[in-house]
Amino acid sequence: MSPRRSGTCYLIASMVLLFAIAMVPPVAAEPGKFVVTQVAQKKLSGLPPGELYWRIENFPTLDLAQKAASTSPTSLAAEVSGKVWLFTLGSKGGPSPGGSKVAEIGPVPVFPAPEYLLQINHAGGPPGSRTPVHSHPGSESFYVLAGRVGQRTPHGVNRTEAGQSMVGHGPDMAMEVFSDGTTDLDQLVMFLLDATRPASVPAKLE
Residue 84: what pLDDT? Answer: 99
The whole-angstrom separation of Cα 110 and Cα 97 is: 27
Q: Which of 104, 116, 103 is nearest to 191 (CA)?
A: 116
Residue 95: what pLDDT? Answer: 82
Tell me if 124 is assigned to some domain.
yes
Tally the domains of the chain: 1
Tell me if 155 is assigned to some domain.
yes
First CA to last CA distance, the chain: 70
pLDDT one-digit tens code per residue, 46-91: 999 999 999 999 999 999 999 999 999 999 999 999 999 999 999 9
User: The domain that contains 191 carries what CATH number?
Assistant: 2.60.120.10
Tell me if 3 is assigned to some domain.
no
The whole-angstrom separation of Cα 77 and Cα 70 is: 9
pLDDT one-digit tens code per residue, 97-147: 999 999 999 999 999 999 999 999 999 999 999 999 999 999 999 999 999
- Domain residues for 117? 35-196
Supply the pTM of this predicted model.
0.84
pLDDT one-digit tens code per residue, 18-44: 333 333 333 333 458 999 999 999 999
Proportion of the chain above pLDDT 90, given as a percent: 81
Residue 155: what pLDDT? Answer: 94
Distances (CA, A) of 79 to 84, 111, 201: 4, 29, 27
Tell me if 40 is assigned to some domain.
yes
pLDDT at position 16 over 60: no
User: Average pLDDT, whole number, for the chain?
Assistant: 89
